[in-house]
Amino acid sequence: MNREKHAKNPLLLIFITVFIDFMGLGVALPVLAPLFVGAGSTLFSSSTTLDERTAMYGYILGIFSIAQFLGAPLLGAYSDRLGRRKVLTFASLVNSIGFLLFAAGIYFKNVQLLFFSRILSGFLGSSLPVVQSALADVSTQENKVRNFSLVGIGFGSGFLVGAIISGILSNPEIVPWFNFTTPFLFVAIMNIVNFCFIYFKLPETLKEFNPHNIQFLSGFQNIQKAYTHKNLRLLFLMIFIMTVGFSFFLQFMQVHLITKFSYTEFQLGMFVAYFAVCVALSQAIVLRKVSLYIEPDKVLLFSIPLFALSYCLMIAPSNHIWLYVFIPIMTTFQGLTYPNSLAILSNSSSDNVQGEVIGINQSVQSLAMAIPPLAGGYLMSKSINAPMLLGAACAFLGWITYLFYYSRKNQVVAVSEKS
């Protein structure tokens, strides 16, 4: 099948790209928390306290988000200039090198190499804004929410497969030479597979190339643009606050499970797999159904407060079984919130700057994702529930911010109709 035929309907090919990318992350993420804070970790000396290891875990997550904050807008802007396909192939190659270096850092117990590898992948391997731009290229305003849900479906299904593989590849009882390095070696190989797939199969989706100037510090400039953009300022602020809140869950739920419920690597992998299934189903079924009947700006009116309430449910249980009951509720309303937020942003931008606008959004999210890791270790030393409580509070604050945005947007529309 030639590339012109692929170009007629590239959604499946974009989904496969996202799936392979997130499958790699699904393999790596369940291993990080046990590697840093698990009882069986040999990365640190026995004199290193749990609080110190938890803080180090937060720092390595945070340094990735900071690097992503600087690098993601550059990749998004370059994808406007050079095309989505070229930038995605480059990002896949960089990620493969980054995961190989991470595996080497574990093997040689070199924490500095671990940090360098995450900086490299964060700065030059952030493919998500480019994928989102490619989806925007092939979408209309009517089907944009459904198409953006492919990211969530790819996230869920990729994480599901990856988490199961992670539990197997990190378990020496299955194969004697399996250890913490094995999942990262597998991720490196999968990124090479993704590189080949993008290069040979994925069509270029960008129709009009935009040779705008690209600044190295565009991450900081993007934050300024997000603040000075009068029409979308409050929406960017809401996305920032919501991302801070949800990042506390994503980045510290594993530590929460280890310290509160003594989860093993296998149990963590199964929990992440279950979470991934719920994410995929919420976006494949609930989001796509809701988008047929309710406009994106109206969906957020109820999805955000219900997400905040579901977050509170995740904090309460003293028996971990209840978490499996509450996760589908949480992922349903989070799955309704993010793609609709992204659709509102995309619909408010012209076609030839989709990469730049989504890059601004990625900068906002990357900066937001850097905050919980830097603060979470300290918070957990004070209270095991502190990061989760703050995450729920952020979700409620995000809802209040969106109410201001929605009210102001309707006032502008009303004035425009009168004039």
Domain that includes residue 83, residue range: 3-205+217-412
Grade residue 260 by pLDDT with cuts at 50, 70 and 90. Answer: confident
CB atoms within 10 A of CB 277: 18
pLDDT of residue 188: 93
pLDDT at 121: 93
Q: Average of pLDDT values for 20-48?
A: 82
Give the percent of the chain with pLDDT over 90.
30
Lowest mean pLDDT, pick from 242-246, 254-258, 302-306, 374-378: 374-378
417 is a domain residue: no
User: Using an 8 Å Cβ cutoff, are 98 and 35 in contact?
Assistant: no
Residue 211 lies in a domain: no
Look at residue 400 and tell me if it is in a domain. yes
Answer whether 313's CB lies under 8 Å from 329's CB: yes
Say yes or no to pLDDT of 413 above 70. Answer: no
| Local confidence band at 6 (pLDDT 50, 70, 90 cut-offs) | very low
What pLDDT does 412 receive?
59
Amino acid at 171: N
Q: 127 near 88, Cβ under 8 Å?
A: yes
- State yes or no: pLDDT of 214 exceeds 90: no
Per the domain annotation, does 363 fall within a domain?
Answer: yes
Using CA atoms, how far apart are residues 167 and 401, in angstroms rounded to an integer?
40
CATH at 261: 1.20.1250.20
- When pLDDT is averaged across residues 164-193 and rounded to a whole number, the result is 89
pLDDT digits (tens, 9 = 90+) for 103-156: 999 999 999 999 999 999 999 998 888 888 888 888 887 787 788 888 878 877
Q: Which of 50-54, 216-220, 297-301 has the lowest mean pLDDT?
A: 216-220
Q: Give percent of the chain above pLDDT 70.
A: 92
Residue 161 has pLDDT above 60, yes or no: yes
What is the mean predicted confidence (pLDDT) over 279-298?
A: 88
Residue 9 has pLDDT above 70, yes or no: no
Please spell the DSSP secondary structure of 88-145, one letter per residue. Answer: HHHHHHHHHHHHHHHHHHHHTT-HHHHHHHHHHHHHH---HHHHHHHHHHT--TTTHH
Amino acid 87: pLDDT: 94
**How many structural domains does the chain have?**
1
Tell me which of 81 and 352 has the higher pLDDT. Answer: 81
Query: Measured between alpha carbons, how far is 119 from 142 in angstroms, rounded to an integer?
Result: 38
pLDDT band at 5, cuts 50/70/90?
very low
**Per mean pLDDT, which of 166-175, 215-224, 305-314 is the most reliable?**
305-314
Q: Given pLDDT bands bounded at 50, 70 and 90, which one contains residue 54?
A: confident
Tokens of 322: 């209840």
| 70 located within any domain | yes
| 227 pLDDT tier (thresholds 50, 70, 90) | confident
Looking at every residue in the chain, the average pLDDT score rounds to 85
Is residue 210 domain-resident?
no
pLDDT in tens, 339-358: 899 888 877 666 666 666 77
pLDDT at 100: 96
pLDDT for residue 419 is more than 60:
no
Q: Once rounded to an integer, what is the mean pLDDT over residues 306-334?
A: 91
Give pLDDT, residue 349: 67
In a domain, 212, yes or no: no
Residue 325 backbone phi and psi in degrees, to 5: -80, -40
- 350 vs 253, residue with greater confidence: 253
Name the residue among 76, 72, 79, 124 with its Cα closest to residue 98. Answer: 124
The pLDDT of residue 331 is 93
**Residue 80 falls within a domain, yes or no?**
yes
